[in-house]
Each structure stands twice: as C-alpha cells, then as structure tokens.
Amino acid sequence: MLYKLRPNSSQCISASIVTIGCTLAIGLLQVPQLQQLSIAKTASPAAFKKELQTERLRLNLLQKTPSFGFDNIVADWVMLGFLSYFGDDSARGQTGYSLSPEYFEIILDRDPRFLTSYLFLSNSISMYAAMPEKSVALMEKGLKSLSPSAPPKSYYVWRYKGTDELLFLGDAQAARKSFEKAAEWASVYADPDSQNVAAISRQTAQFLARNPNSRYAQVGAWSMVLQNAVDDRTRKIAISRIEALGGKMVVTPEGEVRVQLPEKD
C-alpha cells in the first residue's frame, strides 16, 4: 500500500490614525529581529542568549498589547517574526526552539483561523522544541474556533493533532479520535484531494482501533510529516523513522516518490 506524498470622514480619519499607530508599534517591535539578522553569523553564545531574552520580552509585550481590531495583521507580523526565528539555524543551534510556543500563543489568540500556522506549530513545537503536549493543547484551543468549512479544509488541523498525539505523545486512542474527526471533516468536500484525505484518515483510525501500536499508522503519520516538511532536517528524520518501522521509499514509473507500508503491522 502506498501513501501519496487569505463611514463617515471622522471615522475614516480615526481608523487611519489607529492603523498607522498599530503599524508603527508593530514595526518597532520588529527592530530586535532586524538586529539579530545583521549579527547572527558572528554572535557569541552569550549574545545569542541575550537576544533570546530580548525576544521573549518582546513577545510578552506583544501578548499584552491591544490590537485595536487588527488581530489578523498582528498575527501575520508575529508569523513573520517566527519564520525569522525558526530559520536562524546559527541561533537555534545555541538556544534551541523554546520560544516557538510563545509565538503561536499570540498567533492563534489573534487569529485561530490562520490555517497555515498550524503546520509550523506542529513541526516546530513537537519535533524541534520537544513539547508535543503544548502543541496539542494549542491545536485543541484553536479547533474550538474552526469548523469543517471555516476556514476551508480545516480538517488538516485534526490530522496535525493526530500525528503529534501518535508520534510524539504515544497516545493512540487520542490519535484515533483525531483522525476520525479529520475524516469526518474532509468528507464534507467533494474534491479528490479531500476525499483522499478522508480515506487515509479513516484508514489510519481503523489501524489504531485494531492495533494501538500499528506500524501502518505510524508510517502513515511520518509520511504526512515528510510531505509537509519545511526543511531538510525534518525530511531526513521522517525518512529515517519510516525506514526504521519497515516502510520504504519507492519511485513509481511516473517518477513520483511514495511511501510503501511495512509488510506486517
């Protein structure tokens, strides 16, 4: 079996002032990150640690700063900040990824329907920061603001949650329920991709119902990690785990790379 791999004039003036104020405030809050980029290659471990403390203070301030109705803008800005943080390999090699949850607490508090953020949330918090409990808790909170159609294809969040529960928490029962919800939500859509997700999610839930330690389910979950990987390190980890479980990477005659399940569950 193979797995395939967004009034009146006085009101307008007031709104403009607020917008400008918010933009300036958020821009000022990004200054430390711009400074980080300029010295990242030459900074000492002590400097990285100081930058980490500065960034934590900045995030705490952002958490408490009112957005005056511009929640989506704030969420976008914080996401950009996270991408800068996550992509700074030199700094992360020194200080790790402990701030990842703090970025996503702000992002999801401001915009829980920011669907793309959940993928980075799962990857950075569970795998890199080694805090899957926090990743799952944040997704559970965000799912309270989602529905099968708002935003479209929200079923992916259930799949991310189920993957974290299975691979990083070892909670097969919780994972099974998450994959069942993913199948339920994906079934709302008639497009082939959604129907494929529904079928795979339902199948994964069935594997776990029969065998909580199912290799098939684990390989399927790692296949999803591989398919959604945002960096080479994640890809290498996913491939090594797939192979350790008895799965194989195969190339079809059409040149498509797929994952073959182990011979035995």
Instruction: Read off the tokens for 245.
Output: 């479980």
What pairing do the DSSP bridges indicate for beta strands 2-4 and 248-251?
unpaired
Give, for all 265 residues of the chain, the pLDDT tens digit.
555 554 433 333 333 333 334 444 444 444 444 444 444 445 678 888 888 889 999 999 988 888 788 999 999 999 999 999 999 988 898 899 999 999 999 999 999 999 999 999 998 999 999 999 999 999 999 999 999 999 999 999 999 999 999 999 999 999 999 999 999 999 999 999 999 999 999 999 999 999 999 999 999 999 999 988 878 889 999 999 999 999 999 988 887 888 999 999 9
Tell whether omega for the bond before 101 is within 30 degrees of 0, i.e. cis.
Answer: no
**180 and 142 in contact (C-beta within 8 Å)?**
no
Query: Residue 31 CB: number of other CB atoms within 10 A?
Result: 10
Element (H, E) at 2: strand 2-4
Confidence (pTM): 0.81
First to last CA, the chain: 12
